[in-house]
Amino acid sequence: MASSSTSSSKKLAAIISRPARPEVQRTVPELLKWLLAHGYQVIVDPETAKYSNGHEEVPRPQMSSRALDLVVVLGGDGTLLSAVRATAAIDVPLLGVNLGSLGFLTDVPLSSLYSMLDSIAHGSAAVEHRSLLQCDLLRGDEILGSYTVFNDAVVNKTALARLNHYHLFVDKMFVSSYRADGMIVATPTGSTAYSLSAGGPVLMPTVNAFVITPVAPHALTHRPLVVPDSAVVEILLRGEEVAYLSLDGQPGLDLRDGDRVRCHRSEHRVSLFHTDTDFFHVLRTKLKWGER
């Protein structure tokens, strides 16, 4: 958590909101009152600014330049993913408040917002630490981009393209060649996203591992693979078909034959405040598992 440079400095909080939700308009004014009453200065993203009565507006990509102590996210899992991408570099804890149904990431209902904030103020709020991926896109010896990923990195073909060839390496050891629609490298958090729909296992969020899941592989013997999060995972693209690299479901980056995607555990991590709702309750609720 970022700390103030002097004892007289106020703490700094940010509010990030999902746009076009009526709950945001109703919630932000009271939330601002609570934060100001508890010694916070507050910045807001553009989606929140229209309800914030003149508080400083900061675009999400610029929030990591500020010494934040707390980020309150009003929305759902997608909004929280956006907040994580914006603030991962400064390791600030996030309070994800779900404005709809229970989320995998945002397990705090709006009705529990102020009880959670009171727990945070008293230092008694439960915090869960989640791992992040650092993914590099390499073309030859050149790194074209480096990205922080909370859920997954996906190398995938277009809808009309034929199967691509992927060579998988773990810690520079060759694993196998895959003919498949795509390959997924997911964090434990991301194991319940695209990887799950592609047949991958569910990992508890605190497991120190990543899961590598082929998407619709040609060979039925190619199964998902769980590796320790200390490993370096590399996917080499082979083939003339068009492919894309998508990170946390964002629009894809064009790939060429010979491009490599290299993923390893980030030096940063995500800290999420959460209620006493356990992970298996979330699974039963979201995946409609049977109750006992």
Greatest distance between any 2 Cα atoms in the chain: 63
* Among 214, 211, 153, CA closest to 181: 214
Tell me how far apart the alpha carbons of residues 213 and 182 are, in angstroms, rounded to a whole number: 9
Q: Is 278 a catalytic residue?
A: no
Tell me how far apart the alpha carbons of residues 130 and 268 are, in angstroms, rounded to a whole number: 9
Find out whether 233 and 227 touch, Cβ atoms under 8 Å: yes
Tell me how far apart the alpha carbons of residues 45 and 152 are, in angstroms, rounded to a whole number: 25
The single residue of 77, 152, 181, 259 carrying the catalytic annotation is 77
* CB within 8 Å of 135: residues ≥ 6 apart: 146, 147, 148, 149, 153, 185, 245, 247, 261, 262, 263
Buried b (16+ CB within 10 A) or exposed e, 114-152: eebbebbeeeebeeeebbbbbbebbeeeeeeeebbbbbb
User: Which spans in the chain are helix H?
Assistant: 22-37, 46-49, 77-87, 113-121, 194-197, 279-287
Which residues belong to the active site? 77
